[in-house]
Structure 1
Amino acid sequence: MSPGQIAALVAAGAFVLLVIVLAIVAVKAARFFDEATIAMRKAHENTDPLFVEANTTLTHVNTQLERVDGITANARAVTGNVSALTSLFTATLGGPLVKAAALSYGVSKAVKARRKAAEQPNKHSKRSQKRGAK
Structure 2
Amino acid sequence: MGPGGIATIIAAASLFVIAVAVAYAVIRVGRFIDEAKVSLKAFTEDTTPLLTESTRTLELINSPLASFAKITKNVEEVTTKVTDATTGFMDKNGPAVKVAGALISAAQMSKGRKSKKKSD
Deviation, 1:74, is 1.4
Structure 2, unaligned runs of 5 or more: 102-120
Corresponding residue number in structure 2 for 1:69: 69
With the length of structure 2 as denominator, give the TM-score of the two structures.
Answer: 0.71
Deviation, 1:89, is 3.0
Q: Which moved more, 1:80-89 or 1:28-37?
A: 80-89
Corresponding residue number in structure 2 for 1:41: 41
Corresponding residue number in structure 1 for 2:5: 5
AA aligned to 1:34 is: D
With the length of structure 1 as denominator, give the TM-score of the two structures.
Answer: 0.64
User: What is the total number of aligned residue pairs between the two structures?
Assistant: 101
Q: Looking at both structures, which has the greater relative contact order when contacts are Cα pairs under 8 Å and sequence separation is at least 6?
A: 2
- State how far apart, in whole Å, the 1-side matches of 2:30 and 2:100 are: 99
Corresponding residue number in structure 2 for 1:30: 30
The root-mean-square deviation of aligned C-alpha atoms, in Å, is: 2.3
Greater gyration radius: 1
Structure 1, unaligned runs of 5 or more: 102-134
1:32/1:16 Cα in 2 relative to 1: closer, same or farther (>3 Å)? same
1:59/1:100 Cα in 2 relative to 1: closer, same or farther (>3 Å)? closer
Corresponding residue number in structure 2 for 1:59: 59
Deviation, 1:100, is 9.2
The 4+ residue runs of structure 1 with deviation greater than 6 A are none
Corresponding residue number in structure 1 for 2:16: 16
1:100/1:82 Cα in 2 relative to 1: closer, same or farther (>3 Å)? closer
Partner of 1:57, secondary structure, is helix
Question: Identity, % of aligned pairs?
Answer: 32
1:12/1:58 Cα in 2 relative to 1: closer, same or farther (>3 Å)? same
- State how far apart, in whole Å, the 2-side matches of 1:75 and 1:92 are: 26
